[in-house]
Chain A
Amino acid sequence: MEFLAADKVAVVDLASGQVSEDELSEELVAERIGGAGVTARLHQEHADGDPLVLGAGLFTGTLVPGASLGVLTGTSPLTGGLAHAPLTQYAGQELKYSGFDYLVFKGRAAEPSLLWVHDGIADVEPAGDLWGQDVWAAVRAVRQKMGDELIQVLGAGPAAERGSDLGQVMVNEWASGDRFGLGKALAAKNLKLIAVRGMGLLEIAEEEEMVERCLALLAEVKGGAWGGRQGQGALGQALGYDDYADWLAPAVHRSHSSFNTPFAYNTFLYLDADPGMKAEPDQDEPGVLLGDPGAAGALKGLGLSVEEAGRVILACAKEGLDAAAAARVCQAQGKTSAQDILAALPGLTGPVEGLEGPFSTWAPQGLAADRDAWLRRMAVCHVFGIDPIFGLLAPEISEEKLVGLAALGTGLEITQDTLDAVVADLLG
């Protein structure tokens, strides 16, 4: 596959540590487009190894607005069905430039391991020294070892290591959109983390026209209903969370977006420094990144202040816990104060109930007209690599435009029929 791809799929046999490589065939892209369309197919093809499949969407890392998404696909330990964890921030883009389009992890490593992915090379390395470390310590250690703070780390925290259903796959120091316990699945393979650095290049079949269309689309999005809005407060408002923005306000430091995503819906809360300060803080990180309206909303619903909620979310990030699930489980156990919740987190194992379907409700269903519309939009975003929350907020990024860009970018005959077939299969 010459365009919008590195043309390489790695199959990592964790038991032996061997990595084999295949080309990414044009036929596969023409049929399955990319992202979850391909990861689901690879999951099926390698089913004998109980695989996890990591990949990026067709447009991830390009100028298509919102094209930041990476996808981790596997059998959810919570639902038993196929699930796709959305990975935002800069992880998807880094993966796209790493020299691999998709990585399939099969089997289980004999000892705690990490995968180091860079410049088309994927190496399984021992990670016994990282096992048991909290997410932040592990991220810091691997970046220090490899000598680069820009390395993107997808990993499992202590919660996942101890088999907690709440163990999600983390993106660097922060939560991902994983609601399916794929961090637990990662840890079950003895794979502590995947470190990715991308310095490669992408070719585009019709680059000038594609760039022009992307810029036009960006202008359209910026002129749309969400143009100029930012932060979790605005997102909560759209979801009908009463006084959510006011609740957040005392701790809000700044908004933050994922790669090339025009709506900066993530919010940094400062907990140990003045949120009004503009200078670099003395501490490494005096706060927490809030990117999950479900988590903050659930903790708010328990009556916590924004600072208390921030500290819970921060603790969840270090443990590698899904904070939204943690709030629900704690509530079910009658633990509703910040103190009780913080005390419970290190031993929190589940159960997490009420999950269904292949896509994460981290991207709120409340932003779509109905569940069917939400499911279809999720599928489309996960195929093309569009941030799912942004995808829900930006109807300008229409399927018709995405299909047109896909044909331009790849030079392949990708049509609405192609997309319909992939979506039908993913929602099947």
Chain B
Amino acid sequence: MTPLSGYRPGRRGRGPGPAGEGFQPRLAVYAGGGSSHSWLWFVELAERLGLHQVAVLDHRQVAEGGLAGREALLVSGGDTFGMAEALGPAGARALEGFLRAGGLYLGSCAGAYLPLNSSKPPLDLFNWVPAKITNLCRDLPAARELAEKFCTAYGCSWVFHPVREAVELAGRGPGPWGRAGSFPAPLYGGPAMVVSGGCQELARYAGFTQRTRFLAEPELARRTLVGRAAVVRAGLGRGRLYLMGPHLEHPRFARANRLIAQTLRQELPAALGRQPAPPAAERLAGVAARRWLRDLQREVSNLRIVACNLEGHPARWRIGRKVYEPAKLRVYAEAAWPRLRRLERLPGLELPAGAAGLVEGWHELAGRARRLHAGLRAGHDMTAPAAELLAGLNRQTARLVETYFANLAGAAPQAAARPRPAARLGGMAR
């Protein structure tokens, strides 16, 4: 099989280039309950690959048939329990139906834990992959740092995360994974696994890098991770699941990204030769398009400014089982902003159904962000408002990203091209 086209320099370093003429799988990215901001990494990867048929689904949409017509579901990080609770029995049934009918599941971090066999409700709704995790213990070891990110309660035990940041993986097995050799990928709490019958190990933890941050003693980290499975493949009915402990979709890890690209191409041959579907949507042109875009930019910018201001704020919010910091707010804003700038180059705009209420939605979020800022400055506990704001950002960024992809799918290549290279000087927080 011809591998995906070669890499080209990207804004964030060398990354995979377009996936080639006429490779347009119909992708879904999960951004529902329990998900953190990292689903945006799958979105960025899809965009780099030139894959424009992307739906961003929340838990309700998954449960209500949103996966129909989709060939792959990409689930990134967050709170696994939160995802399972949000999806619930209806979501689990929908997801299982999607897989048994031949769907492809790519999960990283929390998205990798979710389909692993578990006895704990509601995780037991998703018992599809018979692999065990090795980063599980009864007696929690001491955290060297980042205690808030070190562990998650799991019944009477603990899921613990001995390291963070880049680790070294070694590919195994047939196909692109076996040819991959060793490559780095970032680990932010994902599992190390031991496979059993029906599972195939595609990559294992091979060691650490200069960037690895040890939250546990290095010897314990080594025993827990090195030689254990980092990426596994399993089947369910006619479907396939790829579970990745580290975030191979992270935009700064080009070699890991390429494996995802090759996996998509290998697993979804029917998508080859397909052209992007023209979006069926309301169309705005001329002044109306510019005005709509400007109104949306105004609100995103207002939020972006507050998010930038709060980036270094020491507040921490425990939301569900995860701890979030204010810097996460800016991730959404910075995902939204450049995409709006790129839409400026189009002569008109396609507004899919999800675009309705975008301007009002971001206006509300900007107001929430400003109130959050005021509350933090006043020294108040802002956990509840922060949770609402982050959930809203997940929703509204999903709608914005879908609108963006709908326009890319219908745009001439030159109009959809990435903007000019990053400038040399920029305004910033001081």
- Closest-by-CB residue of A relative to B423 is A201
Within 8 Å by CB of B297, from A121, A146, A150, lies: A121
The docked-state distance in angstroms from the alpha carbon of A63 to that of B197 is 61
**Chain A at the B interface: SS class:** loop
Instruction: Establish whether residues B369 and A147, one from each chain, have CB atoms under 8 Å apart when the complex forms.
Output: yes
The docked-state distance in angstroms from the alpha carbon of A123 to that of B298 is 9
Q: Is A131 engaged at the interface, CB distance under 8 Å to the other chain? A: no
Instruction: Establish whether residues B373 and A204, one from each chain, have CB atoms under 8 Å apart when the complex forms.
Output: no
Instruction: Establish whether residues A202 and B424, one from each chain, have CB atoms under 8 Å apart when the complex forms.
Output: yes
The docked-state distance in angstroms from the alpha carbon of A121 to that of B302 is 10
Q: 1/0 per residue A94-105: CB within 8 Å of B?
A: 101110000000
Within 8 Å by CB of A118, from B294, B301, B373, lies: B301
Q: Is A320 engaged at the interface, CB distance under 8 Å to the other chain? A: no
Q: Is A26 engaged at the interface, CB distance under 8 Å to the other chain? A: no
- Closest-by-CB residue of B relative to A2 is B420
Instruction: Establish whether residues A147 and B309, one from each chain, have CB atoms under 8 Å apart when the complex forms.
Output: yes
Q: Is A398 engaged at the interface, CB distance under 8 Å to the other chain? A: no
The docked-state distance in angstroms from the alpha carbon of A96 to that of B423 is 14
Query: Considering only CB atoms and an 8 Å cut-off, how many residues of chain A contact the other chain?
Result: 32
**Chain B at the A interface: SS class:** helix
Contact residues in A for B297 (Cβ distance below 8 Å): 119-121
The docked-state distance in angstroms from the alpha carbon of A204 to that of B373 is 35
Contact residues in A for B377 (Cβ distance below 8 Å): 144
Query: Considering only CB atoms and an 8 Å cut-off, how many residues of chain B contact the other chain?
Result: 26
- Closest-by-CB residue of A relative to B372 is A147
Contact residues in B for A211 (Cβ distance below 8 Å): 424
Instruction: Establish whether residues B424 and A147, one from each chain, have CB atoms under 8 Å apart when the complex forms.
Output: no
Instruction: Establish whether residues B298 and A199, one from each chain, have CB atoms under 8 Å apart when the complex forms.
Output: no
Q: 1/0 per residue B367-385: CB within 8 Å of A?
A: 0011001100100000000
Instruction: Establish whether residues A97 and B369, one from each chain, have CB atoms under 8 Å apart when the complex forms.
Output: no
Contact residues in A for B298 (Cβ distance below 8 Å): 121, 123
With A147-B309, A147-B369, A147-B374 as contacts: A118 and B302 at CB distance below 8 Å: yes
The docked-state distance in angstroms from the alpha carbon of A226 to that of B337 is 43
Q: How far is the CB of B368 from chain A (nearest CB, A)?
A: 10
Q: Is B202 engaged at the interface, CB distance under 8 Å to the other chain? A: no
With A118-B301, A121-B294, A147-B369 as contacts: A63 and B308 at CB distance below 8 Å: no
Within 8 Å by CB of B427, from A123, A149, A198, A204, lies: A198
Q: Is B428 engaged at the interface, CB distance under 8 Å to the other chain? A: yes
Q: Is B412 engaged at the interface, CB distance under 8 Å to the other chain? A: no
Q: How far is the CB of A392 from chain B (nearest CB, A)?
A: 26
Contact residues in B for A119 (Cβ distance below 8 Å): 297, 301, 304-305, 337
Q: Is B429 engaged at the interface, CB distance under 8 Å to the other chain? A: yes
Q: Is A32 engaged at the interface, CB distance under 8 Å to the other chain? A: no
Contact residues in A for B211 (Cβ distance below 8 Å): none
Instruction: Establish whether residues A150 and B309, one from each chain, have CB atoms under 8 Å apart when the complex forms.
Output: yes
With A121-B294, A147-B305 as contacts: A202 and B430 at CB distance below 8 Å: no
Contact residues in A for B305 (Cβ distance below 8 Å): 118-119, 146-148, 151, 197, 199
Q: Is A145 engaged at the interface, CB distance under 8 Å to the other chain? A: yes
Instruction: Establish whether residues A121 and B425, one from each chain, have CB atoms under 8 Å apart when the complex forms.
Output: no
Q: How far is the CB of B287 from chain A (nearest CB, A)?
A: 12
Instruction: Establish whether residues B369 and A199, one from each chain, have CB atoms under 8 Å apart when the complex forms.
Output: no
The docked-state distance in angstroms from the alpha carbon of A98 to that of B304 is 13
Contact residues in B for A410 (Cβ distance below 8 Å): none
Q: Is B314 engaged at the interface, CB distance under 8 Å to the other chain? A: no
The docked-state distance in angstroms from the alpha carbon of A342 to that of B373 is 36
- Closest-by-CB residue of B relative to A208 is B424
Within 8 Å by CB of A145, from B309, B370, B424, B427, lies: B370
Q: Is A200 engaged at the interface, CB distance under 8 Å to the other chain? A: yes
The docked-state distance in angstroms from the alpha carbon of A21 to that of B269 is 48
Contact residues in B for A39 (Cβ distance below 8 Å): none
- Closest-by-CB residue of B relative to A199 is B427
Instruction: Establish whether residues A200 and B309, one from each chain, have CB atoms under 8 Å apart when the complex forms.
Output: no
Q: Is A62 engaged at the interface, CB distance under 8 Å to the other chain? A: yes
With A90-B430, A119-B297, A150-B309 as contacts: A204 and B302 at CB distance below 8 Å: no
Contact residues in A for B174 (Cβ distance below 8 Å): none
Interface residues of A in 125-150 (CB under 8 A from B): 144-150
Q: How far is the CB of A45 from chain B (nearest CB, A)?
A: 24
Q: Is A207 engaged at the interface, CB distance under 8 Å to the other chain? A: yes
With A147-B370, A203-B420 as contacts: A62 and B425 at CB distance below 8 Å: yes
Q: Is A76 engaged at the interface, CB distance under 8 Å to the other chain? A: no
Interface residues of A in 178-195 (CB under 8 A from B): none
Contact residues in A for B286 (Cβ distance below 8 Å): none
Contact residues in B for A203 (Cβ distance below 8 Å): 420, 423-424
Q: Is A388 engaged at the interface, CB distance under 8 Å to the other chain? A: no
Instruction: Establish whether residues A93 and B370, one from each chain, have CB atoms under 8 Å apart when the complex forms.
Output: no
The docked-state distance in angstroms from the alpha carbon of A404 to that of B67 is 60
Within 8 Å by CB of B309, from A63, A149, A201, lies: A149
Within 8 Å by CB of A146, from B302, B425, B428, lies: B302
The docked-state distance in angstroms from the alpha carbon of A311 to that of B236 is 77
Instruction: Establish whether residues A147 and B373, one from each chain, have CB atoms under 8 Å apart when the complex forms.
Output: yes
Q: 1/0 per residue B183-196: CB within 8 Å of A?
A: 00000000000000
Q: Is A61 engaged at the interface, CB distance under 8 Å to the other chain? A: yes
Within 8 Å by CB of A201, from B302, B370, B426, B430, lies: B426
With A90-B430, A97-B426, A201-B425 as contacts: A121 and B301 at CB distance below 8 Å: yes
Q: Is B306 engaged at the interface, CB distance under 8 Å to the other chain? A: yes
The docked-state distance in angstroms from the alpha carbon of A317 to that of B13 is 48
Q: How far is the CB of A296 from chain B (nearest CB, A)?
A: 27
With A118-B301, A119-B297, A148-B308 as contacts: A200 and B373 at CB distance below 8 Å: no
Q: List 29 A-B contacts (CB under 8 A).
A: A61-B427, A62-B425, A90-B430, A98-B427, A118-B301, A118-B305, A119-B304, A120-B297, A121-B297, A121-B301, A123-B298, A146-B302, A146-B306, A147-B306, A147-B369, A148-B305, A148-B306, A148-B373, A150-B308, A151-B305, A198-B427, A199-B304, A199-B305, A199-B426, A202-B423, A202-B424, A203-B424, A207-B424, A211-B424
- B residues adjacent to A (C-beta < 8 A): 294, 297-298, 301-302, 304-306, 308-309, 337, 369-370, 373-374, 377, 420, 422-430
Q: A93-B427, A199-B305, A201-B427 are in contact. List 14 more A-B contacts (CB 8 A).
A: A94-B427, A144-B374, A144-B377, A146-B306, A146-B370, A147-B373, A148-B305, A148-B309, A150-B309, A199-B304, A199-B426, A200-B427, A204-B424, A211-B424
